[in-house]
């Protein structure tokens, strides 16, 4: 049995080797060269063969669904186990110049291609000159390409810096490539400005003009229109606006990291400096949308980000609890005292404080509501009482309350001290003398009497005259 298994493995791997060798990439038949040169109005015909379903990729000059381009797919090979595809473009035109690729539909990296020139003496450049020059972006450390591709590889093209500087190729830094245009390997500041590719055919001059632009990469600031935490209810909409200010001419790209998907992107230029913004919208929030939302901004090598966290509540709620105990203590004379139970709610509730059943801040001008707290200024004895906080969200018909007692301690005061101290005078020995001490305090004070002997007679106070 073990022999049988081994031979099956062997035959499988042989078969694998076979398929690997043949058509691991598709093949263009009858194309010997890496490029083809056709004349305008001729027919371009390419045949591709492979082991799997085939696909064509055209140059941008052949638009999707172009009626002059036909693709015929068929099965082929000895056992009809191969795939063949014939591309026909008729008539071929100058703008069809470019690279034609044939690839596997499901393995797109496996492909073959040919570059096709369709010559037209009246259209030496693939792209015709437009009224407004194309902008070519220069990036530090990257090649600069003036993309004046030609329809005939033998066209003599020169590069002109506006108005009249003729730039020759040097085969090292400045290179002409009929499939790309002029390539500048290490562009300097000299290459900022307006440039033309120029060719003369039959005494007619043709040009392709470009404006180079060196983007500035300077992000000044990135901010979200809500900082901190965003709170929302399930089913509600969430919209975050990420604004980027950057130096004039900067190009920025904005992307988001967030728990779910759906983006709207817009660009809005502002005076003096550029402000770009991107708005992320989630139409119906669910619990899964909770989390951190980060707006990433990149401008060339520079990058910055801003974030906010989003909390999604299943339903509106109000929760009130005592901070420590239902009885709180203050002292008479305290500059201010704050009654602040723990309150968590969403959305924002309206809060009313009652004292002994009546609206607190209507009762006394020393009371005011600050956020969810009741603040008492210059605490007095009469502030003691029963306080109730009512928190309500009318929209959802939610109402919660919590009651707490305020005890105000009053430092005992001796009433007799308030009036001028009277000399008890002389009292006969053995007679009865009563001394009165009146005091008030909260809680009730304890009294304690102490006796101190008078200073001995005759001893005069050194300070007295
Ligand atoms: C190409 O075909 C068009 C119309 O079919 C014709 O007008 C034109 O003269 C032809 N051009 C060439 C170069 O054959
Ligand atoms: C291009 O220029 C070379 C030499 O400058 C010349 O020999 C050649 O004929 C020119 N080709 C065309 C298509 O004008
Ligand atoms: C140049 O023009 C002449 C006369 O108009 C024409 O005979 C010739 O074919 C043209 N050459 C090219 C390359 O277009
Ligand atoms: C942020 O901006 C978006 C889009 O304009 C807006 O819908 C949303 O209400 C804003 N959020 C805040 C907290 O201002
Ligand atoms: C986004 O924010 C920017 C500035 O903060 C503002 O100008 C812009 O109008 C906002 N976009 C929307 C759609 O609200
Ligand atoms: C959010 O931003 C703050 C500062 O703005 C930063 O400290 C924090 O690490 C950021 N959080 C995330 C998840 O990026
Ligand atoms: C406070 O809530 C209780 C129930 O939790 C309710 O019976 C009472 O009437 C409420 N008091 C006020 C003043 O709304």
Residues 304 and 322 in one domain: no
Residues 296 and 339 in one domain: no
Q: Is the CB of 401 under 6 A from ligand 7?
A: yes
Query: Which residues sit with their C-beta closer than 6 Å to ligand 4?
Result: 225-226, 239-241, 279
Domain end (from 180, 213, 246): 213
For residue 281, the enclosing domain spans: 219-313
- What is the DSSP secondary structure assignment for residue 150, as one 8-state letter? B
Adjacent-strand bridge partners of 103: 55, 111
Residues 441 and 302 in one domain: no
Residues 303 and 267 in one domain: yes
User: Which CATH number covers residue 105?
Assistant: 2.60.40.10
Q: pTM for the whole thing?
A: 0.48
Q: Decide if pLDDT at 14 tops 60.
A: no
Please state the rounded mean pLDDT for residues 163-178. Answer: 87
Note whether residue 397 is domain-resident.
yes
Integer Cα distance of 148 and 178 in angstroms? 8
**330 CA distance to ligand 7 middle (Å):** 25
- Choose the weakest-confidence range: 299-308, 326-335, 393-402: 299-308
The pLDDT of residue 99 is 95
**266 CA distance to ligand 5 middle (Å):** 10
Residues 300 and 321 in one domain: no
Q: Position of tokens 């790209």?
A: 253
| Among the bound ligands, the one closest to the CA of 118 | 1
> Could you tell me if 69 and 149 are in contact, meaning their C-beta atoms sit under 8 angstroms apart?
no
Q: Counting atoms of ligand 2 from 1, which one is nearest the CA of 156?
A: 1
Residues 273 and 144 in one domain: no
DSSP 225-265: SS-SEEEEETTS-EEEEEEEEE-TT---EEEEE-SS--EEE
Note whether residue 128 is domain-resident.
no
Of 113 and 248, which is predicted with more confidence? 113
Question: Nearest Cα to 146, choosing from 137, 386, 155?
Answer: 137
Tell me the percentage of the chain whose pLDDT exceeds 70.
Answer: 89
Residues 338 and 452 in one domain: yes
Q: Counting atoms of ligand 6 from 1, which one is nearest the CA of 307?
A: 1
Domain end (from 177, 196, 213): 213
Q: Is the CB of 121 under 6 A from ligand 3?
A: yes
Whose C-alpha lies nearest to ligand 7, atom 12?
A: 401
Pocket test for ligand 4, best of 226, 282, 283, 309 (most atoms within 8 A of CB): 226
Residues 326 and 417 in one domain: yes
Note whether residue 442 is domain-resident.
yes
Note whether residue 124 is domain-resident.
no
Kindly calculate the radius of gyration of the chain based on its CA atoms and give it in whole angstroms: 45
Residues 153 and 228 in one domain: no
274 band by pLDDT with thresholds 50, 70 and 90: low
CA atoms within 13 A on the CB side of 150: 23
Residues 238 and 348 in one domain: no
Going across the sheet that includes 204-213, the strands are 134-137, 204-213, 194-201, 158-161, 165-167
Residues 82 and 161 in one domain: no
Pocket test for ligand 4, best of 239, 262, 265, 308 (most atoms within 8 A of CB): 239
| Among the bound ligands, the one closest to the CA of 278 | 5
Residues 200 and 284 in one domain: no
Q: Counting atoms of ligand 7 from 1, which one is nearest the CA of 357?
A: 13
Q: Domain count of the chain?
A: 4
Domain end (from 286, 313, 340): 313
> Could you tell me if 75 and 83 are in contact, meaning their C-beta atoms sit under 8 angstroms apart?
yes
| Among the bound ligands, the one closest to the CA of 223 | 5
The pLDDT of residue 157 is 93
Whose C-alpha lies nearest to ligand 1, atom 9?
A: 41
**151 CA distance to ligand 2 middle (Å):** 15
Q: Decide if pLDDT at 1 tops 90.
A: no
165 band by pLDDT with thresholds 50, 70 and 90: confident
Going across the sheet that includes 181-184, the strands are 144-146, 181-184, 174-177
Strands (E), 247-348: 253-257, 263-268, 274-282, 291-299, 302-313, 317-321, 327-331, 336-339, 342-346
């Amino acid at each position: 049995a073990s022999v049988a298994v081994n031979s099956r493995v062997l035959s499988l791997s042989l078969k694998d080797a076979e398929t690997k060798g043949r058509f691991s990439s598709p093949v263009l038949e009858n194309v010997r060269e890496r490029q083809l040169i056709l004349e305008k109005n001729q027919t371009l015909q390419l045949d591709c063969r492979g082991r799997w379903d085939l696909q064509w990729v055209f140059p941008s000059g052949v638009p999707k669904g172009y009626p002059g381009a036909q693709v015929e797919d068929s099965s082929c090979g000895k056992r009809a186990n191969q795939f063949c595809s014939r591309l026909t473009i008729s008539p071929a035109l100058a703008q069809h110049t470019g690279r034609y690729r044939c690839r596997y539909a499901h393995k797109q990296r496996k492909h073959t291609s040919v570059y096709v020139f369709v010559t037209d003496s009246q259209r030496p450049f693939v792209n015709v000159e437009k009224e407004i020059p194309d902008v070519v972006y220069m990036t530090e450390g990257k090649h600069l390409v003036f993309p004046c591709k030609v329809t005939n590889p033998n066209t003599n093209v020169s590069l002109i810096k506006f108005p009249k500087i003729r730039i020759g190729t040097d085969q090292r830094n400045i290179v002409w490539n009929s499939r790309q245009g002029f390539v500048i390997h290490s562009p300097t500041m000299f290459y900022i400005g307006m440039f033309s590719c120029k060719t003369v055919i039959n005494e007619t001059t043709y040009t392709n003009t470009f404006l180079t632009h060196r983007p500035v990469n300077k992000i000044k600031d990135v901010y979200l229109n809500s900082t901190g935490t965003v709170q929302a209810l399930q089913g509600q909409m969430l919209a975050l606006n990420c604004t980027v200010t950057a130096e004039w001419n900067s190009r920025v790209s904005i992307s988001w990291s967030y728990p779910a998907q759906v983006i709207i992107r817009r660009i809005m230029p502002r005076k003096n400096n550029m402000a770009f913004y991107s708005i992320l919208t989630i139409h119906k929030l669910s619990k899964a949308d909770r989390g951190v939302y980060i707006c990433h901004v990149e401008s060339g090598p520079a990058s910055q980000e801003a974030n906010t966290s989003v909390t999604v509540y299943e339903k509106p709620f109000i929760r009130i609890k005592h901070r420590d105990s239902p009885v709180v203590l203050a002292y008479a004379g305290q500059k201010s005292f704050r009654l602040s139970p723990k309150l968590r709610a969403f959305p924002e509730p309206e809060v009313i404080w009652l004292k002994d059943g009546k609206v607190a801040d209507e009762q006394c001008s020393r009371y005011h509501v600050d956020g969810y707290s009741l603040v008492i200024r210059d605490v007095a004895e009469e502030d003691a009482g029963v306080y109730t906080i009512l928190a309500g969200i009318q929209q959802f018909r939610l109402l919660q309350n919590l009651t707490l007692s305020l005890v105000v301690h009053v430092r005992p005061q001796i009433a007799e001290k308030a009036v001028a101290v009277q000399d008890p005078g002389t009292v006969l020995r053995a007679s009865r003398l009563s001394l009165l001490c009146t005091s008030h305090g909260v809680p009730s004070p304890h009294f304690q009497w102490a006796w101190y002997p008078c200073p001995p007679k005759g001893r005069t106070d050194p300070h007295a005259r």
